[in-house]
Structure 1
Amino acid sequence: MKAASPLRLAFAGMFAMAVAMGIGRFVYTPILPGMMEELGLSTADAGWIASANYLGYLIGALAAAGSWAHGRERLLMFSSLAASAILAGAMGLTGSMAAFLLIRFLAGLASAFVMVFMSSIVFGHLLAANRNNLQALHFGGVGLGIAASSALLAILVTEHAGWAAGWLWSAVISACGFAVVALLVGSTAPANGVAGREPALPNDRSLIKIIVAYGLFGFGYVVTATFLVAIVRQGGGGRVFEATVWMVTGLAGFPSVWLWQKISARIGLYAAYAVGCIVEVVGVTASVAMGGTIGPLLGGLLLGITFIAITALGLQTARQLVPQAPRRIFAVMTASFGVGQIVGPIVAGLLAQASGDFFLASIVAAVVLLVSGAITWSAAPKSP
């Protein structure tokens, strides 16, 4: 099959990530406060729904690591992208807690498949064309999707629409994104330079540290990423301000990978990851420790400018350690990330329910982020 150009594939990856991750995963954040108010969901309920999504993400990542997917990456990616749009619409057609758990679980599965298989398609061709600089465009799709969902929320606020409309319109936007991805990808197949099945991962100390740190990062970032808009509403911010905070998060996320790639080129991948964690700690803490509008806006800004980039830096660090098994290490890292994401919302939801706010949950997340950065820093190769 003839491959699309590297730039075209990077744009395809950007739109796929916008649909499956920016919208499919994170549109739950701006819609959640409305669901809690109109359906009477508790913070613990909200945490369980989020964790169901992350459980699906974990299982999807583990499944994607298997050899069964070899040669089927393109089909699986498109099927999962379509499923992401359908499942978003399904969320707006029910009010059942059991249905929410099932739908978000399946949506997590779909998003993991898109993340692993689309990235394996895009990164393989970018590597072959020596255009790894375009990875930033691919990952920028997460920020694009978050910004799109915040713009949607702002429009729905002016129309006084309920939470269900947010899901239904998210499905429409996702379907449009699917069409764009199909047009851009064309008949392009994966090209990771590995013939047949990939080898098993080595028992390397630095690799194990990176995998563990990545899981801790999944826990640390997800508390704010899941509950930021709920934190704003709990603090008395209006719905327009909620949309503004989430918009700031998305817009900051769009160029973040490019920015941190520049930083990592100067100080190294490991150091950039650790510094990124410290910056995010400031944002996570500010979102609950600073009153008024400054805290949430600073929290959204620093979350957006770090969490997508740190996700990318972690994956790049692992791939650098295991270049001969790109899809397998990508899937294992995504699975580790998924474990942290499952535990994070449950712990945060229970802590928030017990304490009455998200302060304690956010401080716990900040500490975990610091530990993740420290472990990654310790995994850096030592100079002779």
Structure 2
Amino acid sequence: MPKSRSRHGAKPEVSPGRATLAAACASLVGIGLARFAYAPLLPAIIGAHWFAPSAAAYLGAANLVGYLAGALLTRPMASRLPAPALLRGFMLLASIAFFACSVPVSLVWFFVWRLLSGIAGGGLMVLAAPTVLPWIPQSRRGVASGVIFAGIGIGIAASGTIVPLLLQQNLALAWDGLGLLALVLTAVAWRGWPARSAPAPTLAARAKIPAHSPLPTTRLRALYVQYALNAAGLVPHMLFLVDYVARGLGQGLDSGAQYWVLFGLGAIIGPVLTGHLADRTGFGPALRLAFFIQAGAVILPALGTGTAGLILSSLVMGAFTPGIVPLVLGRVHELLAHHPSAQKQAWSTATTAFALLQAGGAYGLTYLLTATGGDYRLLFVIGACAFALGLGIDLVVGVSLSRRRFA
């Protein structure tokens, strides 16, 4: 069977399907495992007396700081090094970090390796999808993006099932097991990256681009702020869901891990569903619906809705944790359809904004949790406010630009 061609007629060195698989493995390793496997490990780290509860929570946030650094550093690095080499290097770094964390030498040692794993995750987020998506036909990019970022959900679900099993042996083995899994996924992705960038648009394609089409600066800036607020809204579930169930509700680690599996199951299907929705409705309307649903789902644990509310909240927030990514990436491409050369830089900026408020939110909410003596419900209320503000900004900017257009 001949390999698929891009919309410009060029044939990539690997099939689009294999390249999509490589990018999915990258999101699985860099985000799904390197970041989210820490949540079910957190109560065990505290229980094994590796670190005090406050220190263990801050170590979780170290990964988010690294993610910010990775988002900032990757674009300059990509201008000097081939994308496949960087992607392989980031996946190897994330894998090695797991093995390093199996030995709690000191708080500094652990912090550095959690930071490095975050750098790897940020780099993979910035680079993997943009390296692959130009080779995917335009009509299938929403679904392809969903498949790529479903790797995050697979990692979450895997961590929720594999980690408790490994913890039955010991905590160090859990870290080593995750490292081995990451190495296997790195090997699967190794030869799946296109060796060169997608070709520039043909003269015929360029002729369709308006000669003096202005950049949609206002909408882009609003999108960066919305994506950052979305990041803050995700923090309560990302970092504290398992700990809230296990220690806050007193239901134990096994029960907390079960909700984390639900979170992961939602995360597996979420990106594919949101990508499919966006292919049908457009990315703008899909993004507004996402903010509305998340605002309602994140606050359910704070309302005391019991088991049913926790199940629904875990599934929905799990779905949108990676599901928001293809929506924002697609919205960037949608807004810059007439400026293809600006798309990668805009996505890098969006990822940086996301990482900045996610890291700030992680440290801020960790401090707040400690200062309030463990008031988890307040964290979920703050998350709902972040999503509501993101939706409000989208609506205000849309109305303002419409009035200006018809004035």
Which of 183, 188, 197 is equivalent to 2:195?
188
Aligned to 1:373: 391
Aligned residues of 2:275 and 2:326 also touching (Cα < 8 A):
no
Picking from 288, 295, 305, the partner of 1:281 is 295
Report the Cα distance in structure 2 between the residues aligned to 1:150 and 1:333, rounded to whole angstroms: 29
Larger radius of gyration: 2
Residue 314 of structure 2 is matched in structure 1 by: 300
2: distance between equivalents of 1:290 and 1:95?
A: 40
Matched residue, 2:37: 27
Q: Equivalences for 1:1-384 in 2 at 5 Å?
A: 2-39=12-49, 41-42=51-52, 44-66=54-76, 69=79, 72-127=82-137, 131-132=140-141, 133-157=143-167, 160-185=168-193, 188-191=195-198, 193=200, 204-234=217-247, 235-290=249-304, 292-322=306-336, 323-355=340-372, 356-380=374-398, 382=402
Q: CA deviation at 1:218?
A: 1.1
CA shift at 1:278, angstroms? 2.3
Distance 1:340 1:372 in 2: 13
TM-score normalized with structure 1 length: 0.90
TM-score by length of 2: 0.85
Closer, same or farther in 2 for the Cα pair 1:363/1:44, shift >3 Å? Answer: farther
Alpha-carbon distance between aligned partners in 2 of 1:184 and 1:38, rounded to the nearest angstrom: 40
Contact 1:282-1:302 within 8 A present in 2 as well: no
Residue identity matched to 1:271: P
Change in CA separation of 1:45 and 1:266 when aligned onto 2, cut-off 3 Å: same
Cα distance change on mapping 1:244 and 1:67 into 2, 3 Å: closer
> Matched residues in 1 for 2:92 and 2:113: separation?
14
Whole-Å Cα distance in 2 between the matches of residues 181 and 266 of structure 1?
30
Aligned to 2:68, the other structure's residue is in SS state helix
Cα distance in 2 for partners of 1:331, 1:50 equals: 23
Task: Measure, in 1, the Cα distance between the counterparts of 2:106 and 2:258.
Answer: 29
Q: RMSD of aligned C-alpha atoms?
A: 2.4
Whether the aligned pair in 2 keeps the contact of 1:271 and 1:377 (CA below 8 Å) is no
Which has the larger displacement, 329-338 or 39-48? Answer: 39-48
Deviations 1:119-172 (A, max 9, x none): 121112115x75413221111111111111112023225xx2333322211101
Residues 162-201 of structure 1: per-residue CA shift (max 9 Å, x gap): 333222111011001001111433x633326389xxxxx9
The one-letter amino acid paired with 1:272 is: A
Per-residue deviation, 1:68: 5.3
State the Cα distance separating 1:112 from its structure 2 match.
Answer: 1.2
Per-residue deviation, 1:41: 4.2
Distance change (3 Å), C-alpha of 1:289 and 1:109: same
Please list the CA deviations of residues 270-289 of structure 1 after superposition, one character each: whole Å capped at 9, or x if unmatched: 23222212222233212343
CA distance in 2, matches of 1:285, 1:43: 24
Q: Secondary structure at the match of 1:39?
A: coil
Q: Please give the per-residue CA displacement for 1:54-99, whole angstroms capped at 9, x wherever unaligned.
A: 1211121112233753552111110010110000111111152222
Give the whole-Å Cα distance in 2 for the aligned partners of 1:223 and 1:46. Answer: 16
Q: How big is the shift at 1:2? A: 4.8
Contact 1:53 1:104 (8 Å CA) reproduced: yes
**In structure 1, what is the Cα distance between the partners aligned to 2:152 and 2:119?**
17
Residues in 1 aligned to 2:110 and 2:284: alpha-carbon distance in whole angstroms? 38
State the alpha-carbon separation in 2 of the partners of residues 172 and 165 from structure 1: 10
| Structure 1 residues 35 and 207: CA distance shift in structure 2, 3 A | same
SS in 2 for 1:184: coil
Distance 2:47 2:179 in 1: 22
User: Judging changes above 3 Å, is the alpha-carbon distance between structure 1 residues 10 and 2 closer, same or farther for their aligned structure 2 residues?
Assistant: closer
Mapped to 1, the partners of 2:53 and 2:396 lie a distance apart of 36
The percent of aligned pairs where both chains have the same amino acid is 25
Distance 2:53 2:301 in 1: 17
**CA offsets, 1:308-353, max 9 Å, x none?**
1112211221232233223211211110001111111111111211
Give me the whole-angstrom Cα distance separating, in 2, the residues matched to 1:378 and 1:180: 45
Give unpaired runs (5+ residues) of structure 2: 1-10, 203-213
In structure 2, do the counterparts of structure 1 residues 377 and 167 end up closer, same or farther at CA, with 3 Å as the change threshold? farther
Deviation at 1:102, TM superposition (A): 1.1
Change (3 A) 1:260 1:203: closer
Aligned length: 375
Mean alpha-carbon deviation: is it higher for 103-112 or for 290-299? 290-299
Whether the 8 Å contact between 1:146 and 1:250 is mirrored in structure 2 is: yes
